[in-house]
Chain A
Amino acid sequence: MVLGVTVLVFALNAAALGDPARAAMGQRADPETLERLRREYALDRPLPVQYATWLARLARADLGESFREQRPVREVIVERLPATARLALAATLVSVVFGVGIGAIAAVRARSTLDHVLMGLAVLGISTPVFWLGLMLALVFSVTLGWLPVSGYGDGALRNLVLPAVTLGALHMGTVARMTRSSLLEVVRQDFMATARAKGLSEWTVLGKHALRNALVPVVTVIGIGLADLLVGAPLTETVFAWPGVGRLLVAAVGQRDLPVVMGAVLVFALVYVLGNLLVDLAYLVIDPRMRDAVRA
């Protein structure tokens, strides 16, 4: 899978860098730079050789040099990673805490008005474009109420993190809420729930301890899918809030036609995604002991 990802990024790279002089230098291309770039990317050799060269550099975490900043792409991206990681973690927290909470309340009150309202909100959350939600939150909480900063990293201040995290988390919160609800309702029908009730446990213990843990398996899947939502939303959210992360770097690099940075950022996003899904698979083993047997078998 990781290899497939690198092939695709390499193909993008090859397509984009077909003529590195034009791509890198625009009108100001001088023959020397052109020659250096050609050698660096082995552009005069057949494609498989180019790919091997590129892969070998990649193995040394060498993503090439930024056209614009004249320094390694790796440096440029590594600088931006902490901001994106902070935002992604905070957004995950928002989506999981509120998503599971809303889903659980809706499940307990299934088919009530509250359930319908909450699930309506969930669909609304899924359908709201992140960038517009970000603007509207900024309009209400920053421009009108003046509670929170409109944008910027604010040297990592928590108040700067709130709006971007809520914006990015909201998209996925709806999915988590819907999954938690349907998954809980599924579990509630099972026999062991009747047993737990028959033991005389309180309704909240039954739901909290017995139902929720079993309902978590599909929810973890959704959190894994949510990683995709987060990574998709990152360029948009970071642009809205002038957040100095990899997403905004990617967008800016496209505008500046700084292709090594573009390809590096795309590759980093894809690798994070693939690794994240791997972690989700591992999380199953922790939550659901049955899966451990399945793995051993």
Chain B
Amino acid sequence: MPSARRPLSHHGFLAGAILVALFAGAALLAPVLAPEDPHAVASGDGATLEGPTASHPLGTDALGRDVLSRVLWGGRVSLAVGVGVEALVVVLGCVIGLLAGYFGGPVDAALMRVTDVVMAFPSLVLAIGLIAVFEQPGLDKVFIVLVALGWTTIARVVRGEVLSLKTRDFVHAARALGGGHRAIMVRHLLPNALAPLLVAATIGVGGNMVAEAGLSFLGLGAQAPTISWGAMLADGQTFLASAPWVAVFPGAALLLAVLGMNLLGDGLRDLLDPRLRA
């Protein structure tokens, strides 16, 4: 892996890192930062669909719940799905990519055939179709579906790296020294594929977050009382004319978080692999 050079002078990377740090920090510290219980509905009168005020900096929603608190708590769901799904996707994708690239032949052909077929579907459409298989939608189903469909990108990246690495001298040397298949794959091939893997995984986290929000927006993801930015947007659409803040802020939070992930991923690619610099 080429050494990372001057990450602080790469503006995109820096901006991405800051946005991601802010997003992760806000999500992790939501219980401390949120001014109110995100589920607390308004008591008394006049506190529903209230514009931004000192006590509710981002206003309140149709039930009088504090939008700021809900945006902060919604970030936890987004972060958990984004990172959690990607962690499993990376493991699954690495195993499949390593096996396909290393053994080649019929193993490769079979695994890549499956990958091609999964990739032949526009991802969200297939995700919607899969969700339909379950009786009831929910965040857990979104998680399962995103893992089931997400591994293809990582598998392709890893396979491609392995194909170009496995004929190198150091791999021949490892084999000559008596290294088994597993040792060669895990100890020699995988570490050398880390850079593109890291880039793909970072951008993947952002993709998972958008997918979760999208499915929840359509009513096919997180269900109340789970707080999801996508579901908040769906609520907000109803009151777009009278109380736009209900839709504006969760979407802006999602945009900034995803933008951060994409900038970070692009930056990592530039820094880790100068050959790919645009």
Interface residues of A, Cβ cutoff 8 Å to B: 1, 4-5, 7-9, 12, 15-16, 123-124, 126-132, 135-136, 138-139, 143, 150, 178, 181-182, 228, 231-236, 239-240, 250-251, 253-255, 257, 259, 262-263, 265-266, 269-270, 273-274
Contact = CB atoms under 8 A, between A and B. Distances in A.
A129 B278 contact: no
A251 B247 contact: no
A143 B240 contact: yes
B258 A129 contact: yes
Contacts of B93: none
B217 interface: yes
B101 to A, nearest CB: 21
Contact of B132 (A8, A126, A257): A257
Contacts of B81: none
B132 A231 contact: no
Q: Most chain-B Cβ atoms within 10 A of its Cβ — which of A131, A132, A236, A255?
A: A132
B244 A143 contact: yes
Nearest to A18: B133
The 4 closest A-B pairs by CB, nearest first: A132-B251, A231-B122, A4-B117, A266-B129
Nearest to A231: B122
- Give the interface residue-count category, chain B: 35 or more
A139 B244 contact: yes
Contacts of B278: 178, 181-182
Nearest to A185: B278
B220 A4 contact: no
Contacts of A274: 120
A4 B114 CA distance: 8
A114 B251 CA distance: 27
Contacts of A181: 278
Interface in B96-121: 113, 116-118, 120-121
B29 interface: no
Contact of B259 (A7, A127, A139, A251): A127
Nearest to A23: B135
A234 B122 CA distance: 10
Nearest to A250: B128
A235 B241 contact: no
Contacts of A233: 124
Given A4-B120, A231-B122, A12 B130 contact: yes
Nearest to A5: B120
Contacts of B255: 124, 127-129, 132
B46 to A, nearest CB: 23
Given A128-B255, A129-B214, A270-B125, A4 B133 contact: no
B218 A236 contact: yes
A251 B218 contact: yes
29 contacts: A1-B120, A5-B120, A8-B121, A12-B129, A12-B133, A16-B133, A127-B262, A129-B251, A130-B214, A131-B230, A131-B233, A132-B247, A135-B240, A136-B248, A139-B240, A139-B244, A143-B241, A143-B244, A181-B278, A235-B128, A236-B217, A236-B218, A251-B218, A253-B132, A255-B219, A262-B132, A266-B121, A266-B125, A269-B121
A44 B155 CA distance: 37
B209 to A, nearest CB: 9
B262 A123 contact: yes
A270 B120 contact: yes
A171 to B, nearest CB: 10
A123 B124 contact: no
Given A131-B214, A136-B248, A273-B121, 7 more contacts: A8-B121, A123-B259, A123-B262, A135-B240, A178-B278, A235-B218, A266-B129
A123 B19 CA distance: 14
B125 A132 contact: no
Contact of B128 (A8, A228, A266): A266
B262 A15 contact: no
A126 B118 CA distance: 23
Contact of A270 (B12, B121, B124, B237): B121
Given A8-B121, A129-B214, A182-B278, A15 B133 contact: yes
Contacts of B219: 251, 255
Contacts of A235: 124-125, 128, 218
Q: Most chain-B Cβ atoms within 10 A of its Cβ — which of A1, A128, A136, A254?
A: A254
Contacts of A269: 121-122, 125
Contacts of A9: 129
A9 B113 CA distance: 15
B258 A273 contact: no
Contact of A236 (B129, B130, B206, B214): B214
A43 B130 CA distance: 20
A273 B213 CA distance: 23
Contact of B237 (A135, A254, A265): A135
